[in-house]
Amino acid sequence: MKPSVAGRASEVSLLTNLLGRRDPSVTWVVGPPGVGKTTLVLEALGQLPRVYHRVPPLPPPFQREALAESLRQVRGEGTGGEGVVPRAAEGWRGEQRSGEAAQWSRILEPFVRGLPLGRGWILVVDDAHRWVETPSGVGPALRAALREARRLGKPLHVVLLAPTPGPLGVEEEFGAEPLRLGPLCFRAAEPFLPGKTALDRLQAYTVFGGTPAALIHLDPEAPLEENLRRLVLRREGALWDAPLLLLERLVQRPARYLAVLAAMAQGEVWWGGIRKGVDPGGGSGLAGPYLKRLQELGLVEGRRSLDAPASSRSRRYGLADPFWGFWLRFVFPHRGSLERGEDGVAACLRGVREGLGRHARSWWPHLSRGFLSSPEGSEVFGARAREVGSLWGDGYDLPVAGTLATGAPFYGVVAGGEEPSALQALQALELQMSRTRY
């Protein structure tokens, strides 16, 4: 099985159900690059007839021509044969007279009219955020095309893939709730991780995380350090600067964003810790927009205590994937020495050996919450979790807590290494449970 679809059975089922409806629809599938959006969607489509199109990073006229070419690829496959999709270039001269939306309609509406009756078609649009970022009139044209499909009784479904959803003006009439994809939980990622024991693989997860784009490069049969040397600690490695390249792809000025992420590399932080990491002088206005954008992109998670109101400003923030924390903590500060060769690699590995245990333990609460949120989490309590998070307040700080579908609450702490014994941890847990009303 591919990492992109491992542990995604519920997401595949949801997409399959959405795309099996008779009424036309628009569905956003969102998540950071490398999380497996494209592979997941194509897996869910199975043998359903589809058109796959990737929006190029070009001005609207070239985007239209690219869409026309993608739709032209399916001529003769039940979409009306020759002449269904006119060349976009033919309408460019009249753009000032007819408007951008009319130019898009000359491509989309003939495609819809050529679709066969009673058979659903799916238009998969990758990098759809480029349609949103470049105002081009595609939204009104898409809405008109879907209305035409509805009028003709043709179930056309549009699946938009992007880091974040964006307004195209079709969501209110045809849209479904966005399907958000994040890194795989440990259980889903485990078959792709190196290590002979479950504990070894758990530690490897806190290094490489659960993003499919990273997991596909791992050699499960090789030791953790060998994978690190090959993929992360050498300039030619596939993951050498993967976080930096991803950030440069998502935002225009990555330096501030990188500072926000680096502030979380040591573990979850409050707002004050992030603010100081971005601006040691204490300017609170600088970090806010960057933090908000990183949350929208799925790179950062913000959590309030489960017993606090939704409007509470008391929140903790942390990285969504362990690989970012590892890279920012152990690799990024030492890139200069790593580029000098094996001596730098050896020194970096010594630092990893000394600090990896502490780094791994800082991720255990995150992994526990992810596991309890997954379908496999019902193995622990015999019921699915309805809500999973943390609790903190006067006299209690519980990193794992939630409510089962049965209505029963659960509480947890994570202990290991030099921390208190299991018995001491349970005694402390019982005391803190008595102090919360959750």
Residue whose pair of structure tokens reads 């799916």 in the numeric block: 122
Question: How high is the mean pLDDT in each 10-residue block of the chain (438 residues)?
Answer: 77 86 92 92 87 94 94 59 38 46 90 82 94 87 92 92 91 88 92 94 96 95 96 95 93 90 86 76 69 93 92 91 96 90 90 93 91 85 92 92 94 75 85 89
Report helix, strand or coil for 157: strand
- Reported residue count of the chain is 438
Q: Please give the pLDDT value at position 95.
A: 36
Q: How far is CA 348 from the centre of its chain?
A: 29
Q: What are phi and psi of 410, to 5 degrees?
A: -140, 155
Distance CA 332, CA 316 (A): 24
Q: Please give the pLDDT value at position 109.
A: 84
Among candidate residues 140, 146, 147, the one with its CA nearest the CA of residue 100: 140
Q: Please give the pLDDT value at position 80.
A: 41
Burial 243-278 (b: 16+ CB within 10 A, else e): beebbeebbeebebbbbbbbbbbebbbebebbbebb
Amino acid code (one letter) for 90: E
Amino acid code (one letter) for 24: P
Q: Please give the pLDDT value at position 75.
A: 55
Q: Classify the C-alpha dihedral 242-244-245-250 as positive or negative.
A: positive
Instruction: Return the axis-axis angle of helices 198-208 and 342-373, rounded to nearest 10°.
Output: 110
State the pairing for strand pair 179-180/25-30.
Answer: parallel
CB 430, CB 412: distance < 8 Å: no
Give the pair of three-digit tokens for residue 156. Answer: 């056309």
Instruction: Return the axis-axis angle of helices 254-263 and 271-278, rounded to nearest 10°.
Output: 140
CB 37, CB 182: distance < 8 Å: no
Distance CA 406, CA 402 (A): 12
